[in-house]
Chain A
Amino acid sequence: MSEDIQETESIPFFPDHVSTELKVVVGILAIVVLIGLWGLIHPVGLQEPADPMNTPLHVKPEWYFLALYQLLKFIPKTVGAVAPVLALGVLMLWPFIDRKADQTPRARRIRLIVTSILVVILIALTIWGEVS
C-alpha cells in the first residue's frame, strides 16, 4: 500500500504518465488481438433463427442480467422490476447521502467489507442463475 508516499510526489502527465497508460493500452490491445485470433478458430456463432411461434425451454439473459433473472424467481415481478431502478437511483444519489469526508482507514475498511458481501451475493446469484 501507499502509506509512505508523500503527497507532493508527482510526475508530469506527458510523457511519464502517458507512457505508462500507453503500456496498458498496448497490453489490452494484445489481448484484443488474441481474442480476434481465437474468434477465427472458434467463432461466436449463432443459435437457431428467431421464431416467435416457438418458445425455447430455457430463456436466459446475458450473464450481467443473470443475478436479476435469478432474483425474479423468488420475488413478485413488480418488485423485481422496481428493485433495479431503485438500486440505480440510490447508487446515483449515494454521494449526496454519504457526505461525511472520512479521515480514517476504518471507514474504508467498512466499505470494503460491505462491497465484498454485496459482490459475493451478486456472484452467487449469477452462478445460481447459470446452473439452474
Chain B
Amino acid sequence: MPELNKRRAFSIFITILLLGAIPLITALAKDTATVQSSGIVQEGEIFTQAGENAFIGERPNASLPPPPDKDSCLHCHITGEDKNLWTPLARWFLFGTMGLFLGYGLYRNAGTLVSKKPWKPIPQRIAEWVDERYQISAPLSKVLSKPVPKYALHWWYCLGGITAFLFIVQGTTGILLAFYYQPTPETAYASIQFIESQVRFGAAIRSIHHWAANGMILMCVAHMLRVFIMGAYKPPRELNWVSGVLLLTLTLAFGFTGYLLPWDQRAFWATTVGSEIAGSLPVIGNLALVFLRVGWDVSAQTLSRFYALHIIALPLLTVAMMGAHFLMVRRQGIARPL
C-alpha cells in the first residue's frame, strides 16, 4: 500500500466530499420538484381536456414533459417548456460546458500537484502514449513532409479535392437522412415530409444533400476536364485516369439511385424512363432492366434495391476507388504542367 501522505489524504477527503454532495443535491432537487409540481399540474390540464383524466394522477413526476405520443408539438417536447434561457437544452449546454472546464481544471491542478512536473498538454500526452506503443511518428512525419510542387497551389488543382470533400459532406448528411428515411413505397414519401417539417434542421440537411450532390457531379466533371486538357492522363498515369472515370460513373450512379428515393411522381417516372433506356441495350437489355427494376415494373423491390445500392454498395465501391485514386496520385506526384 502506498504511503498515505498529507497531500494524498487531503485529495481523498475532497473527492469523498464531492461524491457525497451528489446524492445530497439530487435529494434536494427532488424536494424542489415536488414543491413546484402543484404549479405544473395546471399545464397538465391541457391533457385532461383531451380526455386523459387518469393521466395526471398516474404521472410519476409532474415536472417532466409529457411523453412524445401525448405531446402535440415535437419541438416543444425536445426543448421542454419555454423558459427562455432555462430550457433543458440550454441547461445541458451551460452546465455541461462548466462541468468540462471544472473537470479539466481539477485534473490539471491535481496532476501537476502530484507529479511535481510542469504540465504537458493532453494531446501531447496522448501522442506520446500512442507513439510509445506503436512507433508511429517517424513514418507519419515522413509521409507528411513529402514535398509538393508549388504549381499545385493553382486553383484548378483543388477541383478533385473539392469533389472528395463534397463526398464526405454527402456521406455525413446521408447518414443523418438515413436515420429518418423509410425505404418503402407506403412510407418513403411521408418520411421525407417528416424530415422536412418535423426533424430539427431536417430541411437544411436534405437541402445540403440535394445541392451538394449536384455540386459533386459538377466538380467531378470539372476535375476531369482539367486533367484531360493538361494531359495528366498520359503515361505513367493511365490507371489513375481509369479509376477517375470509374469514380465519375459511380457518382452518376449515386445520382440515379438517389433520385428514386423520395418516391414522388418525378422520382418514379424518371426511374421508369431511365431503366427503360437501359432496357433498350442490345443483347443484355432485358437483363439490365430486370436487374434495375427487380422485375418488369418499378415497385417496392426497386426502391429497396436502389436504397441498398445508394447507401451500401456504391459508397463502399467509391471509398475503395477513391483510396486507390489518392494512393496513385501520392505515389507518382502531381503531373507537371507544360
Contact = CB atoms under 8 A, between A and B. Distances in A.
Interface residues of A, number: 74
Interface residues of B, number: 78
Contact of A56 (B166, B269, B336): B269
Interface in A58-100: 59-65, 68, 72, 77-78, 80-82, 85, 88, 91-96, 98-100
Contact of A24 (B158, B185, B192, B270): B158
B94 interface: no
A52 B303 CA distance: 14
Given A5-B150, A10-B147, A82-B282, A119 B249 contact: no
Interface in A1-60: 2, 5, 7, 9-14, 16-18, 20-21, 24-25, 28, 32, 35-40, 42-52, 54-56, 59-60
If over half of A's interface residues share one DSSP class (helix, strand or loop), that class is named, otherwise mixed; here it is helix
Contact of A55 (B149, B201, B229, B269): B269
Contact of B264 (A43, A49, A92): A49
Contact of A77 (B161, B256, B280): B280
A7 B235 contact: no
A40 B205 CA distance: 9
Interface of A: 2, 5, 7, 9-14, 16-18, 20-21, 24-25, 28, 32, 35-40, 42-52, 54-56, 59-65, 68, 72, 77-78, 80-82, 85, 88, 91-96, 98-105, 107-108, 111-112, 115, 119
Contacts of A42: 207
A38 B154 contact: no
Contact of A46 (B212, B256, B264): B264
B35 to A, nearest CB: 40
